[in-house]
Every structure is written in C-alpha cells, then in structure tokens.
Structure 1
Amino acid sequence: MTPRFRAAAVVLDIEGTTSATRHVTDVMYPYSRRRFAELLTERQDEPEVRAAVEQVRELLDEPEADARRVERALGEWLDEDRKVTPLKTLQGIIWTEAFARGDLTAHFYPDVVPALRRWHERGARLYVYSSGSVSAQRSWFGHAAEGDLRGLVSGFFDTRNAGPKTASASYRAIAAVTGVPPADTLFLSDRASELDAARDAGWLTGALVRPEEPHQPAGRTEHPAARSFTEIDLVLAEGTS
C-alpha cells in the first residue's frame, strides 16, 4: 500500500487518522465528562455556553431542560460517540482551557508530524476537518508533544463552519473557502462514509488503515489506502506555490 497523490492541499481528519482514537475516548472524553456540570452551572451565562445549551434543548425537543438534564444528554451522546455540534462546542471550551493549563497534551502518531512538516516545506497547504470544534482543533495542534503545530495548518473546519462530515456539500463548502480545486485537494480519513462524501464532491481521497483503530473497513476499501503517513507519496500539483 503506497498510494501516490498529486495535490495542492491536504485536508486532515484527526481521530483515527493523525491521532489515536483511544487517546480521545480514554483521556479526552472522560476529562470533559467530569467537567460538564461545573461548566453548565457556573458559566451558564457565557454566550458560547448559553448558545450550546439552547442547541441541546432543541435537539432534545425539551425547551425547559435544566442543567442536569443537559448534562445527562451530553453524557449519553458521549457514550454513543455522537458527533453532535453542541457537545463538541462544550468539549472544545473544556479542552482548550485544559491544554492551556497543561492538564492535557495532544496525541499524534509518530509517522504524522514528520510527514506534515515535509509536505508543508514542499509547499502543500494543510487543513484540518474534524467533528471537534475549531477551538478544540487549534488547541490540539497547538499542544502536541512535538510542539506547536498550528503554523503548519492553513485553516480549520468543523461541523459548524463546514457541515456534517458525511455530506458532500460540506466538502464543496470547504473547497470554496480554500480556493483549491477539488481535483487538487486530498482528504485523509479512516472513515469510509467521510471519504465517500469527499469523493462525491470531486476530491482525492486516501484511507488510513491503522490496525489498532476501530473504524476500519470490513473488507477492501474503495479508496487508496495506507497504513501510515509514511506510505503516502504526495506530489504537488502544478501551479502550487
């Protein structure tokens, strides 16, 4: 498995692609779960918290849901690994502060950061598209064991500013922002449904098939596949500066 791509931009999924799902589920999720109650009660008047709580109430169809009910819903969505925007927003607030305090450090597979630095030096434009909020993504890339990686990234996208990751319209929206033609944009992810949506939008797609990750295709994937970033051969598209 050594897929070769000619692209000007690479858009990265995080969980299961650049970083271990287990770090998210075993470290990040429990950390946020322990702090939901405090956030919902002591900071309920902050605009971002208030807006997220209203979104939770709308999704529950319970306009009078109190903080305890909202907290229970967040916990249930965590258990189900639901990619729900208000959940990700509130997690992002908690994680951003935790990274700043040094309570958390982001995880990247050892093959990822050298590849990102190499691609960036060659002139490729790197973007991130994750279900986690943009603030959480920035904190993640800013607090890696390898240092602050935000300088490598040209932009961050989430379900609020782009849309659902399984909708092809989301990838068209991202391309409109980056200005990179879909045919010159490569999306790397471990999830077939996301890769299918990107391909439907005209993007190049690459599947990360890491043996330790839970969301691997049952059979042979339809997308060019690699077991690590080391196996990805990226050639810059003509006209890339």
Structure 2
Amino acid sequence: MPRQTVTTTEARPPIVALCGSTRHWDALAEANLYETAAGRIVLAPGCNLRQPHPLWADPNRAGRLKQQLGELHRRKIDLADEVLVVNPDGYIGDSTRSEIDYAQSLGKPVRYTHTPDTTRYTADVVVLTPDGRVLLIERDWPPYEGAWALPGGHVDPGESSREAAARELDEETGLHVTVGDLRPIGTWDKPGRDPRGRYSTDAYLAVVPADTQITAHGDARTARWWPLNHLPDRLAFDHADILNTAVAPSS
C-alpha cells in the first residue's frame, strides 16, 4: 500500500526554550504549563540533578551527564524561535547566563518571567588551612570558564549572603561549614568587576583542618587546595584582591 503524505496549511506553533536554574524546578514546570496553554511548543530541561535519582547517583556519571545536558539544552535553543528565562525574583545563575548569551549570539528573542535586578548579589568564600593553603575551584561556565576562582555564587531569594556562602561552598566542593564558621571579610561592588553586569559580592573567611577532603560539584569543574605561595597566575573576577585582603595581617 503506498505511503500517504499528510499536508496541512496550518502554521507551526512557535517553539520556546525554557532556561533557568533547576533550583527553581517548580517555577520551570509552571512556566511550561502556561506556555503550553498559550499554544507554544515548549522545550524544557528534562533532568534535575539536584534531586536524587539512580541515573546520577554516581558522582562521576553525574559530572558527565551535566556536560551532556548542557550541550543538549543548547541544541534545544538552536531549535527554538525564542527563549524564556525563568528567573524568580530576578535570579540568573552562571549556566543560565551562558545560555542567554548563546541565544543572543544566534539572534533569538529572549524574554523573562521576572525583570532582572539591576544589581545581582553573590557571596564568595576564602577557605584556608593552618598549613597555608587555599581552596579554589575551576569554573565550568562563562565568564572565566576554565579559570580558577573562589567558591561562591548567587544569593537565593530569602537567604542571607552568609547562608548563600555556606550553601555554595557545599554545593561546589562538598565542604560543609556552618554560618557561624564564616567571618566577614568585606563587600566588593566596584562597577565592571563582572562582565555580566552589576554584581555585588560579600566575601567570607573560613579556616578548616589541613586534611579536609573536597569534591567538585555543581558549577565547579574541579576543586583543589593551592599553596598560598604558589597560586595560579590569575584568578577570575577580583578574587585575587579578595584573597589578598583575607590573608593580610590584621592591623
């Protein structure tokens, strides 16, 4: 029996790719619902590595899957007519910012569920050991992809910068400290310190035992203890200044 070809005169519905942090998984699902109800084809993240699952229970497999999902989502952006950024309270993380930059490089229209804040707030942590080492991560996302930096990240809605510092340290290196373990160093908010826009960061100091174990997770490609007298040639952002302030003798 000959194969029949079905034709239609109806225009294809617009395709929208959802971008946003999986920490806002419920908000992504809600955006998917509303965009679908509005008659759009929705391409959304399909895995939430923050939720336990046998597919990514092994850390090595989780790392490989994270890279695979990142590339897969860029292919979704390739297919989409536009991008919708799901950013409750204006929050945009590093991986989402990278996806926005990619979409804009392709000329894709980008809209937001919430207007991005003029100033974004982050927290960074200088972790030292008594034998003179500092904990650094290799960044896995632009800007400064592949560069060494202090652990840290965006302050989530409803949390203090000190709470964000402890959370980001745990998420990126597996190192758990309490908010009481963190001593304020200062605030860095000079315009131009971050190529993504206006960012203000609160920096904190923590001192841990010399034999403390670390494992890279989340936005960190790798994590490593560096001797203070043998650091990388350059640190991302203004983290060298933050580190120098942290180790400077008290007046």
**Given the two structures, how large is their TM-score scaled by the length of structure 1?**
0.30
Structure with the larger strand share: 2
Q: Which has the higher contact order (CA 8 A, sep 6+)?
A: 1
More helix by share: 1
